[in-house]
Amino acid sequence: MNTRYLSIHKSLLILAAIFFSMLSYGQSKKVWLQYADDFFKKGDYITALKYYERIYSDSSINESGVLPYEVGTTSQKLKDKKPKNDSVVKVPFKDYIDHQIAVCHQKTYDYKRAAEHFKETANSSYYPADRYEYADALMKMREYDQAIQNFKAYAESPNHTDSLAILAAQRIVACKYALDDEHYEKEIIVEMADTNIFNKGTASFGVMFFGSEDRIMFASAREDGVILDPNKQDSRYLMDLYWTQRDDVDDPWETAKNFGRPLNGAVNDASGTYNGNNVIIYNRWENENPNGVSMYLGRMLDFKFFESYKLDSVINYPGSQNINPYVTEDGKWLYFSSNRPGGKGGFDIWRIKIDATGLPSGTPENLGYPVNTEFDEKTPFYHSIGNILYFSSTGHNSIGGLDIFQSKFNLDDSTFMAPTNMGEPINSSQDDAYLIWDKNMKHGFFSSDREPCEAGHCYDIYTIENAPIRIYIEGYVYDMATNEIIPGASLTFKDVRGTIPDFTLTSDAKGFYHTELIQQSEIFIVAKKKDYFADATNIDTRNITKSTTLKHDFYLEQIPQDEIKIEGIEYDFDSANLRPKSKEVLDKLYEFIKLNDNLTIQINSHTDCRGSDTYNQKLSQRRAQSCVDYLVKEKGIEKERLIAIGYGESRPAYRTDENGRVVLDESGNKIPLTEAYINSIPSKDEQEELHQRNRRTAFEVINQK
C-alpha cells in the first residue's frame, strides 16, 4: 500500500478521534451541567458543587456560549426575594457557573470560596445581587472594610432592589459595630471545650442542662454512635445525643455517654432539652428528607427510655421545620424556632405552654417584634433568674452569620425589650448559637463554627467564663422635710442570710455614699443620724445578672420635740386590755422601734377630762404599761428601751385642722384641748370628738445613743 496514503489515512483517523473525543467531552459537560442543576434544585449543594467544578476546570469554559436562565435576586428571606421577570434571559456560561459555584459554597458555609466566585459575578448585569452576596461573604470573613465598600456599591447601583438596599444599610451598621473595639468584652473568657469530652468527633453543639448545672446533654457526631447498617452508615456523620456530669463546679466532667437506643435512632438526633420530669424533647431529621426535621419526645424511667414519638401537628406544623426546643426551668414553657406560617420571616422564636408530661397545651405564640425579624432567629434559651431571653439571629445587627443576642423580659407588661448583641468574643464573623448560662451567669456554653474543620463547616462547643459581675449601690442622704443633704449619716449594711459580715459607711460632705455589693445576697440597709429617725431599704442582688450600679436615696425625718400620736390604739371601756386592732398597730410600732435601735422610747397614755384626776392617771398608767408589756413580752423589745407613763388628763392634746396641722390662736400659740375650751364649743358632737382626741396613746424619744 502507498505510504503516502497510509500517512493521510492515519492523520484522518487521528482527526476523527479528536473530533469524537471533543464531541464526547462536550456531551459529558452537558450531562454534568444537568446533574449539577438537578442536585442544586434538590438542595444537595455539595454534590452539585462537584459537577459544577468539573465544568469550571475546563479551560474552554470562557469560549462557551450562553444559557437561558431566570435571574434570581437574593438568598435572603424577604417579601420581594423573587422578583417577577417578564422573560427568561440568556446568561454567559462562565457567569452562570461562577454564580452557581458561589451559591453552593455559600450554602455550605465556605465563605472564602464563595467570595472568590461572587467577586467574578459582582459586576454582572445578570446577577446584580451578587455584589450584595459578595459583600456578605466578605463580612463573614471579617473583611469589614471591604464589605462596607461593596454594600455601599450595591446600594448605589441602579440595579439594586429596595429590600436588599435596606439590608445593605443594616449590614454597614453591623460592620461598623464589629470594627468598634468598645463592644469587645475583654474580661469574658471564651475557650474551646475539652476535645476528649465535648468536641470529640466531626461536630458537637447544643449543650443543655440535664436536671442540674452539674449534668448536661449535647449533640455530637463521633465514632461508636448509634447506627443500624455499618455498611451504609457512618456514625462520624450522624448526630447523637450524649450526656456527662461532674461532682462539683470545680471537678472535671466525666467521659460523655451516648444515650443509646431508643432515644437515639440511627438518624440525626440533636438539640435536646429536659423538662425536669423525665422527659427529653429533641430534634430528629428524617431519612427520606434531609431538610425534614421534627420534634420528638422521649420518656425515661430510672434512666431507661421508652420509644420516642413525634409530637403532633400543634408543634410539628406540616411543611415546616420546628427546631431548637428549650423547656424553661419551671417546666411550663416550650420555646422553639420554626419557619411555620404566621411568622415575621425565615425562622422565628415561638413558645407554647406545656404540662408536666411535656405535652403542649394551647397553641404556639410568636414572640413577635422586637425579638423576631424577617431573618432567622434560632436556639432560644430563657434565663429564669435574670428574666432574659438568649437567642441567635442573622438579623438585628449581626456581625456575621448567626450572632447571639439577649432580650430582657419586662415582667410589668409581659413584653420583650429590644435585643442587644452580645459582642465579641462570644460572637464572631461565623455562626454562633446555643448559648446557655448557669443561674449566676458566671459560666456557660455556646456553639460556634468559627474554627475551620474537615467538612468546612461544623460546630464546636465553647465554654464561657463571664466577666466579673460587679454590683454597686450609691445615693444620697437627705432631710425629709427640707431636702437638704445630710453629711455624716451612718449606713449599716446587713446580710439577711448572715453569710456576709455587717459593715458600715458614712455619707460624705455632700451626703453621698457608694459601695460594692455581693451577687446572690439580700442586703438590709439602715441610714441613721443623730436627731433623726432612721430610714431603710432592702436590696436583693439574686436576680442581677450583669454589672450594675443601683441608685437609692435615703430620707431621714427629724425627731420632733412633741410626742407622736399612735393612731388606732383602742381599749375596752374602763380597761387597760388591748383590743386585737391595737395589737396590729403595735406590731407596726415594733418594726419602727427595731429599726431605730439607738433610741429609748417612752409610751404615753392620756385620758379625757371626765372622771377624777386620780382615776384617770391610774387608768392611763395601766394602759401605757399594757403597750410596753406587749412590745417587751410578746415582741421581744429590750425592756430598758421602753418606759410607760400615764398622764391621765394632765396633758391635753392640741387643736388641729382637717389635715392634722396644729391650729394657732391669734397670738400664734397652740390651743390645748382643755375642759374649759371643749365646753366652750356649742356643738355636742364636736365636743365629743375633742374628748376623743384627748383619749390617746403616743410615744416620744427620751434618749439617743
Q: What pLDDT shows up at residue 575? A: 81
Residues of the chain with pLDDT under 50: 1-26, 63, 69-87
Sign of CA dihedral 540, 543, 549, 555: negative
What distance in Å separates the CA atoms of residue 166 and residue 509, rounded to the nearest whole number? 54
* Segment holding 362, helix H or strand E: strand 360-366
- CA angle at 489 for the pair 484 and 495, rounded to the nearest 5°: 130
What distance in Å separates the CA atoms of residue 456 and residue 461, rounded to the nearest whole number? 16
Residue 241's contacts (CB-CB under 8 Å, 6 or more residues apart) are 217, 218, 219, 258, 259, 263, 264, 269, 270, 272, 280, 282
Q: What pLDDT shows up at residue 457? A: 65
**One-letter amino acid of 153:** A
Closest by CA position to 75, among listed 170, 161, 202: 161
Neighbouring-strand partners of residue 528:
490
SS3 string, 515-569, reads EEECCCCEEEEEEECCCECCEEEEEECCCCCCCEEEECCEEECECCCCCEECCCC
Integer CA distances (angstroms), 307 to 221, 224, 261, in order: 21, 21, 8
What distance in Å separates the CA atoms of residue 551 and residue 530, rounded to the nearest whole number? 24
Burial category of 339 from C-beta neighbours within 10 Å (exposed 0-12, middle 13-18, buried 19 and up) = middle
